[in-house]
Homo-oligomer: A and B are copies of this chain.
Amino acid sequence: MAAKYLSIAQEIKQRILSQRYPATEPLPDQLALAAEFNTSRMTIQQAMRQLIVEGIIYARQGQGTFVRKNFRQLSQWDVAGSDYFGATETWRHLGEVTSQVIAFEVRFPDEKEQTSLLISADAPVYDFIRLRLVNGEPISLDMTVMPVALVPGFNKSHLESSVFRYVRETLGLKMMGSYRVVRACKPNARDREYLNCDETDPVLELEQVIYLEDGTPLEYAHCHYRYDHGGFVMVNNG
């Protein structure tokens, strides 16, 4: 069974979405909610905290708790979320997503890769490049490096389906975080070839490290996106 505070949060969220709690007035106070849900005020507060971090409500000492007038539906490439670029998911609504393996090799890591993945120079890594297309149009070119030791039994066929599903479901590893830098850069030869870029077309580059729940880096990747297919969305709630 889910925790009580989570089901209360869920219920309150529903009431907000269904306008039963209108955005024009404060929510019932914590004592009233505690009575209604037959629980303690601490538990109500835990539910509230949940909704606060989700950006749905905010609370003011001495005033009350309010619905955000303007909490947005996330769209496009939701960075705040937690899908770790099973990019398929992200773009599915745009059309048919396909993937093409451009390269798949094993080699030793360079210095930058060693420090990013926290491995030594003689720990082999997989190095693969994938092109993603939506309705046949190239969208992104992903260059990924992954320590061999972390993914036993890994092979090229996993690239064609989902690397993350393999890691999660077969190996039982949980992805718990990412570190990303996004920048603009000029297209290199590979971008021009596979993303069909012109010399003057900028490229949106995402450099990322994805790590497991204990902080072990799982992959280090550079993803290049065509500049005309959107951007990254970042939401920040005080």
Contact = CB atoms under 8 A, between A and B. Distances in A.
A203 interface: yes
Nearest to A72: B179
A153 B68 CA distance: 27
A118 B69 contact: yes
A178 B236 contact: yes
A202 B177 contact: no
Contact of A215 (B70, B179, B213): B70
- Give chain A's interface residue range (CB within 8 Å of chain B): 35 or more
A37 interface: no
A124 interface: no
Interface in A58-85: 58, 60, 66, 68-72, 76, 79-80, 82
Contacts of A42: 42
A176 interface: yes
A25 interface: no
A158 B207 CA distance: 37
B69 A215 contact: yes
A216 B69 contact: yes
Contacts of A204: 182-184
A106 interface: no
B182 A232 contact: yes
A200 interface: yes
A233 interface: yes
Contacts of A230: 183
Contacts of A80: 236
Contact of A58 (B200, B213, B231, B236): B213
Interface in A27-72: 42, 53, 55, 58, 60, 66, 68-72
